[in-house]
Amino acid sequence: MNPQNNDCIFCKIIAGEIPSKFAYRDDDVAVFADINPAAPVHLLVVPIKHIASLTTMTDADALLVGKMVAAANKVAKEQGLAERGYRLTINCGEDGGQLVQHLHIHLLGGRPLKWEN
């Protein structure tokens, strides 16, 4: 499978060009390990389709983003995070601290998380 966007590291992971550890994958969404984990569980939930950022999503992508949240919750439960809880974060743009321009939800858990901003 060729990456949808050859300049995008997450498209390359989705296409299998860069090896990664997948926790979940279906036709719409993939979940894989963050290379620099900030918590005992740190996964990235991405749409298979290349969407650069929340600012470039359209209303037609709303169902897809809902599927991302549902996949995150499913994986969180599988990883044993349901009882103590977890955090989903989407960084958007420069001020939001977004470094990779392929929409992703950070799934963080496994320790108490402080609110840092």
Q: Which residues bind ligand AMP (CB under 6 A)?
A: 9, 13, 18, 20, 34-36, 44, 91, 97-100
Q: Does 11 bind Zn ion (CB under 5 A)?
A: yes
Kindly tell me the number of DSSP H helices and DSSP E strands found in the chain. Answer: 2, 5
Count of CA atoms in the C-beta half-sphere (13 A) of 38: 13
**Partner residues linked to 93 by β-bridges:** none
Q: Which of 32, 41, 43, 50 binds Zn ion (CB under 5 A)?
A: 50
Give phi and psi for 44, each to the nearest 5: -115, 130
Shortest distance, position 109 Cβ to ligand AMP, whole Å: 15
Tokens 């392929």, residue located? 102
Shortest distance, position 83 Cβ to ligand AMP, whole Å: 25
**Partner residues linked to 33 by β-bridges:** 43
Whether 106 sits among the annotated catalytic residues: the reply is no
Shortest distance, position 104 Cβ to ligand AMP, whole Å: 6
- SS3 label, residue 87: strand
C-alpha R_g of the chain: 14
Of the ranges 5-13, 15-23, 32-40, 109-117, which one interacts with Zn ion (CB under 5 A)?
Answer: 5-13
Catalytic positions are 104
Q: Which residues of the chain form contacts with Zn ion (CB under 5 A)?
A: 5, 8, 10-11, 50, 102
